[in-house]
Amino acid sequence: MPHAPLVIVNPTAGGGRTLQWVEWLRERLGPRPEAGLEVTAHRGHAEGLAAAAAAAGHDRVIAVGGEGTIQEIVNGL
- Report the pLDDT value the prediction gives residue 30, as an integer from 0 to 100: 79
The residue type of 57 is G
pLDDT in tens, 21-77: 888 888 888 777 778 899 999 999 999 999 999 999 898 999 999 999 999 999 999
2 three-state secondary structure: coil
Torsion angle of alpha carbons 11, 16, 18, 20, nearest 10°?
A: 100
CATH top class, domain 5-76: alpha beta
Does the pLDDT at position 8 exceed 90? Answer: yes
Domain assignments of the chain as residue spans, ordered by start: 5-76
- Laid out side by side, the sheet with 5-9 consists of 36-39, 5-9, 60-64
| Residue 2 binned pLDDT confidence (cut-offs 50, 70, 90) | low
pTM: predicted TM-score of the whole model, two decimal places: 0.88
| Residues facing 38 on adjacent strands | 8
How many Cα atoms within 13 Å fall on the side-chain side of residue 38? 21
